[in-house]
Structure 1
Amino acid sequence: MTGSGRRFPFRFDHRLRPALALIGVHPGTAWVELDDEWLLVRFGPWRLRTTRGNVAGVERGGPYRWWRVIGPHLSLADRGATFGTSTAGGVCVRFGTPVPALAPGPWLRHPAVTVTVVDPEALVRALTGPVTH
């Protein structure tokens, strides 16, 4: 990332903040950043990085049940990753080529990631709008 990207902070449910802080996830370490070339998700010690060209689809989701979204999760149904801090709703970003996020190394790749940002609509618009150069 060039530092000129747009940052989307995660929404934190107040009652869940202490548990998330135990794994290193708090407002200073949880955000989605998007620039002309890259999509980067930081979620405490976890990272997901891919090119914007790898984004194959975007959709709103939620509200969620807390046990299905809070913290880092792997979907057993489709191997998608979830980085969740709120039950209010979020954005599912699908990828053309699966990417690593939850585990180091090449063996676990995710076809999608769900993120629970403060402004899901703004992230959807930013991901589906034209790239500015």
Structure 2
Amino acid sequence: MTSADAATTRYDFAFAPSYRWAALPFGVLPGTTWAELGPGGLRVRFGPWRLRTGLDNIAGAERSGGFGFLKTAGPAHLSFSDRGVTFATNGDDAVCVRFHSPVRGIDPTGLITHPGATLTVSDPPAFLDHLEVLTR
């Protein structure tokens, strides 16, 4: 993690033991799961899934959590209510990032795009502070 500078930082995901087992068959492992935030934008890898967007497309972000295991464990999840994508490795603490223009993530063809992404990074406050520095 970086301090208040604008360097690119890789944020690991916080894996709960039950989520680790549920994610394993989908290739979602600590070594294949991360979020990078820096002057070049946001890049996320969640096993085989990828998401990328520029800083100018980030509309805002806030903490979230309290997710149900069945709705979030295992692979990337699509919300049918708002088309958001969830990359979850625990149900307790996450960052929800909103986009001005929807981005690709769960569907490699790009037919499904997401107005937001939920990321269970290991240090949500540091991620949010870094994002604030980059987008002011």
TM-score between the two structures when normalised by the length of structure 2: 0.89
Superposed, 1:33-72 pairs within 5 Å as 33-70=36-73, 71-72=75-76
- Please name the residue that 1:9 is paired with: 12
Aligned to 1:109: 113
Inter-partner Cα distance in structure 2 for 1:131 and 1:101: 22
Deviation at 1:19?
2.1
Kindly report the root-mean-square deviation, in angstroms, between the aligned alpha carbons of the 2 structures.
1.5
In structure 2, C-alpha distance between the alignment counterparts of 1:127 and 1:53, rounded to whole Å: 11
Distance in 1, Cα, partners of 2:135 & 2:64: 24
**Displacement of 1:15 after TM fit?**
2.3
Letter in 1 for 2:77: H
Q: Which residue identity does 1:65 align to in structure 2? A: G
For 2:30, the aligned partner's letter is P
Cα deviation, residue 63, structure 1? 2.1
Partners of 1:121 and 1:81 in 2: CA distance:
20
CA distance in 2, matches of 1:102, 1:130: 25
1:121 is paired with a residue whose SS is helix
Cα deviations across residues 40-81 of structure 1 (Å, max 9, x unaligned)? 000000000000111001010012221222231101110000
Code of the aligned partner of 1:84:
A
SS of 2:112's equivalent in the other structure is coil
Alpha-carbon distance in structure 2 between the residues aligned to 1:14 and 1:30: 15
Percent identity, aligned pairs only, is 43
Q: Distance in 2 between matches of 1:106 and 1:31?
A: 21
Q: Which runs of 5+ in 2 are unaligned?
A: 1-6
* Paired residue secondary structure (2:108): coil
